[in-house]
Chains A and B, each alone.
Chain A
Amino acid sequence: NAGVMQNPRHLVRRRGQEARLRCSPMKGHSHVYWYRQLPEEGLKFMVYLQKENIIDESGMPKERFSAEFPKEGPSILRIQQVVRGDSAAYFCASSPGSGRTYNEQFFGPGTRLTVL
C-alpha cells in the first residue's frame, strides 16, 4: 500500500513563474491537507480539501495561491507569480475520513520549492 506521494520532490522556479505541486493521497483516503514548512520551523496549515470541495482554506494566502482536489487525479497546490518568500517545503497529508483512524493524517515526503 503506497503512502502519500508528492511530486516533484524538488522544484526550482524563477520569480514570477508558476509552481504546481502534486499530491496523491493514500489509497482509500478522501481527505487531503496541505502544509508549508520554513527551515527550522513547524508546519503551518494551509488548506483542507475533500474530493471536489475545499473544506477549510483559512491558512492559504489570499492571493496567488490556490488548491484543488478533483474527482479524478491528484490534489494540486498552485502558486502563481512566485516570490522568494514562497521558498519552503510543502507537505501534503491525507486521512481516511471514516473508520477508527478517520482523522489520522499521513504525510508525504514533501516538495521543496526554491525560488531564485
Chain B
Amino acid sequence: GESVGLHLPTLSVQEGDNSIINCAYSNSASDYFIWYKQESGKGPQFIIDIRSNMDKRQGQRVTVLLNKTVKHLSLQIAATQPGDSAVYFCAENAYGGSQGNLIFGKGTKLSVKP
C-alpha cells in the first residue's frame, strides 16, 4: 500500500549545527504535508505544514522543502538546540487536510549533543 517513510531512523547533531530530516512519500495524490515533533511521553506537536502548490515554507528556525517530482519532503532546523531532541514525523493528507486521514511516517529520532 501507499505509505510515508523516512530515510534515516536516527540523527545525531552537535548543538548549533543545522539538522536535516528527510521523508519520502509514495501517494502522488497527497497535497498537504505536515511535520510533527514528539517528545518522550507526549503527544505530537505541530511544527510546520506545506501544501503541494508550494515548494518551500519557512517558520521560526525551521524550513520545509517539498519536491513533488521525486516525492520528497525535508525539514531543516537551523542552529539546533538540545530542546530540539525528539522524534520527528512527517505526515501526509490527500485531501488538502480537509479530511482527517493523516498518514504518518515511522519517525526520525534527533539527538542533539551539547
Q: Measuring CB to CB, which residues of chain A are less than 8 angstroms from any residue of chain B? A: 4, 31, 33, 35, 40-45, 48, 55-56, 58-59, 91, 93, 95, 102-110
Closest to B109 in A: A40
Given A43-B89, A45-B100, A55-B100, A107–B107 Cβ distance below 8 Å? no
A33 vs B34: C-alpha distance in the bound complex, in angstroms? 16
Given contacts A43-B104, A102-B98, 10 further A-B pairs with CB under 8 A are A33-B102, A41-B106, A43-B89, A45-B103, A55-B99, A56-B100, A104-B46, A105-B102, A106-B46, A107-B45
A31 vs B97: C-alpha distance in the bound complex, in angstroms? 12
- How many interface residues does chain B have, given as a range? 20 to 34
35-77 of chain B: CB within 8 A of chain A: 36, 41-46, 49
Q: 7 closest A-B pairs (Cβ-Cβ)?
A: A48-B100, A103-B97, A42-B104, A107-B43, A43-B104, A33-B100, A107-B44
